[in-house]
Structure 1
Amino acid sequence: MDTYTNLRAGEKGAYLSIIAYIFLSTLKLAFGYIGDSQALRADGLNNLTDIIASIAVLVGLRISQRPPDDDHQYGHLRAETIASLIASFVMIYVGIEVLLTAVKSLFTTTHGNPDTLTIWVSLFSAVVMYAVYRYNLQLAEKIKSTAVKAAAYDNRSDALVSIATAVGITAAIVGLPIIDTITAFIVGIIILKTAYEILKEAIHLLTDGFDHDILERVKVEAAHIPQVREVRDVRGRQHGSLMLLDVTVAVNPNLNVRRSHEITEEIEAYIRTIDEHALAFVHIEPYDPKEMIICEDDYHF
């Protein structure tokens, strides 16, 4: 599949998350009121905020599919990374809310008496969200989508929150509400840690960060090609799910155009073994050791 086909496939994960969150938030809020469980109602409200994150991912994937135009010569693929950035912000908000709720519960002297049915609702929700997480994670790895991966991690966090809710409800029923607080703290920290990892990756990509190991591999491979005298520069950046690489090599100035072109094709072919959808720009320059000597002499005053 090409890059744009992958983006369209990624929409399935976003739609699945939205449908799951709408269903589960409705279920949790309804049974939260029926079963007198404040924890389940809070979890339902949490899923309502997750709908926003999933919609942001969907919008980002849609915008990424727009073709290049006068203002975006490389297309709109970075909208996908921005979508994962927004998803991380939502997760940070949810994580902070979970921690604040845990702190407030320490000073709560009255606790409800929830119905045992609410425990099963929480566990059912955890199973559903874990299944959605596994689907989205596999999809993200297949299409190399940062936005879908962010949605998957958000799904996993919600599965953990639902498990924590079940533990908290159980603790409230048996008269040990402190377990709910401890579990909430742990889940809140996990959510914030996951959000930080997504945020860090998104900022890294948006600031043109790139895997140094890939650049070194390309540099070594290009240097081994016959008639390549020098690898002068290898640069890379990630444009959404599309890898862009710029390679500059020097060859004998008397080398004919056909052989020079073959060298560029060899380098491009190797880059495609790293990522079949990568876009490589290989620039050929004439090699002249005297240029290096002159250049060095120019800096002697």
Structure 2
Amino acid sequence: MKQMKPEVGAWVSIGSYFVLSSVKLSVGYWTNSQALKADGLNNFTDIISSIAILIGLLIAKKPRDENHPYGHSRAEHISSLLAAFIMMTIGMEVLMDAALALKSDKKMVPDAIAAWTAFFAACFMFFVYLFNKKLAERTNSQAIAAAAKDHLSDALVSIGTVIGIMGTHIGVIWLDSLTALIVGLIICKTAWDIFKEASYTLTDGFDEEKLRQYKQEISEIPGVEQVTDVKARMLGNEVILDVTIQVSPYLNVVKSHEIADCIEVFMQEKHDVTKTHVHIEPYSTLDEKTH
């Protein structure tokens, strides 16, 4: 797992969704289960979103060029954004189909094999979720983390599908269509969560608590008199940190540079921040009297 790349997670997702969507859609049409067909369609959209994520990961690996001096890392976030749009579109379609089915007077009881199909699919997808969750944590990949969230959602959707199908067998005929409606809502909710996280990162949003922690720890490094500003943003799975510090005005350039190096090494070792830009200013006499 340590040496695995984020693309492995994308390929696992694509393969899993291809198998599950094919089985669910086939069994869903065969057994007349609206819920299982919606669940299969959900997995089919995930194939498209996983391919988008994979493309984003591959583009993000490209080295920087004249037009992209900071590299192509943000392609990963854009791929997550595109995946969210695709999921939202399909989610709305599932909602409309389920609403029409609920209004229809012709409701059929799905075969029990549809429930078993959904149950085994849920178990399978839960293991895929655990795999990609660990991979995302090890590689710090936002795209794979988003995919893992979707896997867990899919596993829960399949459990709901089981409940909906079994409900029809105890006389609640409309429960299969209602489950399909709930599946559509879950798809839309997952799409919204992925969209919100990706757009937050693309607009340079960053955890304020982490920034406060960075500022406090940097201020304790020997030679740093004061930390006046700390800003951070994400480029792909890398944190870019900009720090403004004040040091004694009596230090020479070499000593000031050594302090900056200490900050860079500290952030790399403690927080895995690969790029820290340090701006140094003199600590004024007025500040010294009030410090």
Match of 1:25 in 2: 21
| More moved, 76-85 vs 21-30 | 21-30
Rounded Cα–Cα distance in structure 2 between residues aligned with 1:32 and 1:73 = 50
Determine the C-alpha separation between the residues in 2 that align with 1:180 and 1:34: 15
Query: Following superposition of structure 1 onto structure 2, how do residues 56-71 of structure 1 map, counting pairs within 5 Å?
Result: 56-71=52-67
Letter in 1 for 2:206: F
Distance 2:62 2:206 in 1: 24
1:259 has 2:235 as partner: no
Deviations 1:165-190 (A, max 9, x none): 22222233333123234434444433
Structure-to-structure mapping, 1:41-52, within 5 angstroms? 41-52=37-48
CA contact (8 A) 1:80 1:147 kept: yes
Partner of residue 275, structure 1: 271
Q: Which residue of 2 aligns with 1:296?
A: none
State the alpha-carbon separation in 2 of the partners of residues 126 and 44 from structure 1: 12
Q: Give 1:199's match in structure 2, choosing from 180, 192, 195.
A: 195
> 1:125 aligned to 2:130?
no
Partner AA of 2:106 in structure 1? T
Quote the RMSD (CA, aligned, Å): 2.5
Count of aligned pairs: 288
Contact between 1:39 and 1:168, CA under 8 Å: does it hold in 2?
A: yes
1:289, distance to aligned residue in structure 2 (A): 4.2
Question: What letter corresponds to residue 167 of structure 1 in structure 2?
Answer: I
Query: What one-letter code is carried by the residue in structure 2 that aligns with 1:282?
Result: V
1:174 is paired with a residue whose SS is coil
Instruction: Name the amino acid aligned to 2:113.
Output: L
Q: Quick check: 1:168–1:177 contact (8 Å CA) kept in 2? A: no
Contact 2:165–2:175 (CA under 8 A) maintained in structure 1: no
CA spacing shift, 1:193–1:114, aligned 2, 3 Å: closer
**One of 196, 217, 220 as aligned partner of 2:216:** 220
**Partner of 2:9 in structure 1?**
13
CA distance 1:225–1:29, change in 2 (3 Å): closer
The answer as to whether partners of 1:91 and 1:154 remain within 8 angstroms in 2 is: no
Residue type at the aligned position of 2:240: L
Instruction: State the partner residue of 2:112.
Output: 116
Say which SS state the counterpart of residue 145 (structure 2) adopts: helix
Instruction: Mark the CA change 1:95 to 1:228 in structure 2 (over 3 Å): closer, same or farther.
Output: same
Structure 1 unpaired stretches of 5+: 292-301
- Distance in 1 separating the partners of 2:270 and 2:181: 41
Matched, 1:159 2:152: no
Task: Tell me if structure 2 keeps the 8 A contact 1:111–1:172.
Answer: no
Counterpart contact for 2:62–2:71, Cα < 8 Å: yes
**1:72 is the counterpart of 2:68:** yes
TM-score normalised by length of structure 1: 0.86
Find the counterpart in structure 2 of residue 103 from structure 1. 99
Q: TM-score, normalised by structure 2?
A: 0.88
Deviations 1:167-216 (A, max 9, x none): 22223333312323443444443333332222211111100111222222
- Partner residue, 1:141: 137
1:211 maps to which residue?
207
SS at match of 1:233: strand
- Long gaps (5+) in structure 2: none
Indicate how the Cα distance of structure 1 residues 274 and 80 shifts in structure 2: closer, same or farther if over 3 A, else same.
farther
Contact 1:14/1:148, CA 8 A, preserved across alignment:
yes
Name the CA distance, whole Å, in 2 between partners of 1:82 and 1:34.
38
